[in-house]
Amino acid sequence: MNDAMRIAPSLLSADFAKLGEEVTAVIAAGADLIHFDVMDNHYVPNLTVGPLVCQAIKPYATVPIDVHLMVKPVDALIPMFAQAGASIISFHPEASEHIDRTIQLIHAQGLRAGLVLNPATPLQVLDHVLDQLNLVLLMSVNPGFGGQSFIESVLPKIEAVRKRIDHTGRDIWLEVDGGVKADNAQRVGSAGADTLVAGSAVFTGGRYKQSIGAIRAQALLGQEGRWASRPEVA
């Protein structure tokens, strides 16, 4: 795994008729995680895949499966995805009646827990739970569909979450999801993201290695610039 800048291809833009091959191909092309988007036609308007499909791809996934739940309610699906081979489960606070309990349920399954903030979700939802999280996932599109345009106003939000995470001193990943491509990855890296989801930018065109490499290279450029412009920490 490339821990400086992790790339998580979203299977939403893969060929669903040959998902196992697609997983193998993106891992060979450098994927650090497999991003698995679960939509329920209730919390979001789209309908995708569940634990059965997660279990089916698990034998091909030699990297962690990063499950992004866009479902309401959340809790009953957690043991099912744990059973199906998930390593990380992230959920939206709007979809859970008891955010703290849902995080505990994920940890009780031995998995890493992430909270997902939509473009308009305020950062206050992190106030009392950040220390329990392994991952903050910032949406840079409204959830529901692949192939949407990156929402620029999320950039300062990434910076603000980066500061909060740094303040904890803990190894909490900062993942950004939606409309990420080589064109904007430098700005996303510069704002402080360390994990980038990319669906259409990886799978469209079929040149997975080149696409993943270009996104990572741009994001690392942004990250280096960020470190260079950082004030000295005593």
Comparison of 71 and 161: residue with beta carbon closer to ligand DX5: 71
Which residue in the list 32, 40, 66, 177 is annotated as catalytic?
Answer: 177
By CB under 6 A, residue 88 contacts ligand DX5:
no
Active site residue 66: no
Interface with ligand DX5 in residues 153-182 (CB under 6 A): 177-180
Instruction: Please pick, from the candidates 32, 37, 40, 194, the single residue that binds Zn ion as defined by CB under 5 A.
Output: 37
Alpha-carbon distance of 210 to 201, in angstroms, equals 10
Site string for ligand DX5, 119-158 (x = CB under 6 A): ----------------------x-xx-xxx----------
Q: Is 177 in the site for Zn ion (CB under 5 A)?
A: yes
Is residue 92 involved in binding Zn ion (CB under 5 A)?
no
The pair of three-digit structure tokens given for residue 26, joined into one six-digit string: 């993106």
d(CA 136, CA 25): 27
For residue 15, indicate whether it is catalytic: no
114 binds ligand DX5 (CB under 6 A): no
141 binds, among Zn ion, ligand DX5, none (CB under 5 to 8 A by kind): ligand DX5
Q: Which one of Zn ion, ligand DX5, none is in contact with 12 (Cβ closer than 5 to 8 A by kind)?
A: ligand DX5
* Contact status: 68 vs Zn ion (CB under 5 A): yes
Give the chain as a 3 state SS string.
Answer: CCCCCEEEEEHHHCCHHHHHHHHHHHHHCCCCCEEEEEEECCCCCCECCCHHHHHHHHHHCCCCEEEEEECCCCCCHHHHHHHCCCCEEEECHHHCCCHHHHHHHHHHCCCEEEEEECCCCCHHHHCCCHHHCCEEEEECCCCCCCCCCCCCCHHHHHHHHHHHHHHHCCCCEEEEECCCCHHHHHHHHHHCCCEEEECHHHHCCCCHHHHHHHHHHHHHHHHHHHHHCCCCCC
- Contact between 12 and ligand DX5 by CB under 6 A: the answer reads yes
- Residue 181 touches Zn ion, criterion: CB under 5 A: no
Q: Which positions touch Zn ion (CB under 5 A)?
A: 37, 68, 177
Catalytic residues: 37, 177
Q: Which residues bind ligand DX5 (CB under 6 A)?
A: 10, 12-13, 35, 37, 68, 141, 143-144, 146-148, 177-180, 197-201
